Every structure is written in C-alpha cells, then in structure tokens.
Amino acid sequence: MDTFPQPNHFLLNLPIAELPLSEHFKLRSKLMVFFTLQDIIGTNQKDLHELDDYSEHWYFEFVDFLHRKDLLYLLG
C-alpha cells in the first residue's frame, strides 16, 4: 500500500479563490460556503445537488479539475 501523499493533495486545502478555476466556479463556491476543495469533497454528494447555488456546470468544472490534477479518486 502506498503511504506517500499524492503530490497534488496540497491543492485541497488552498483557498478556492487562489486556484486556476473560473470566476463562475469561485463565486458559486463562495455562495455555497465552500472555501477549499476539501470543503466540497467533505460534503455528501447527494447534499451538493440540493444546495440553492449548485449547478451542473459548477460540478463538472470541479470534477474536471480533480481529474486534471489526478485527484478524482477522492470522490469515489
């Protein structure tokens, strides 16, 4: 078993405002009171869809970012 942290794990705790994501993503995240990617990952996926400011576009950008940074496995 690999016990070394993934090289991109540091991204999870950086402020979303500092990440290379769209302004749309940053605004929606702020409205939903998510300040780091870890905040989003730590939320029940079913509950995300019920938030007032949730959008599929926002979620797809989140998933795409995780995929590009080899962090998508964190959702499963």
DSSP per position, 60-74: HHHHHHHHHTT-GGG
pTM: 0.89
**Numbers of helices and strands, H then E, in the chain:** 4, 0
pLDDT of residue 4: 56
pLDDT at 39 over 80: yes
Percentage of residues of the chain with pLDDT beyond 90: 88
pLDDT of residue 60: 98
Distance CA 15, CA 4 (A): 23
What digits encode the pLDDT tens for the residues 1-33? 455 557 899 999 999 999 999 999 999 999 999
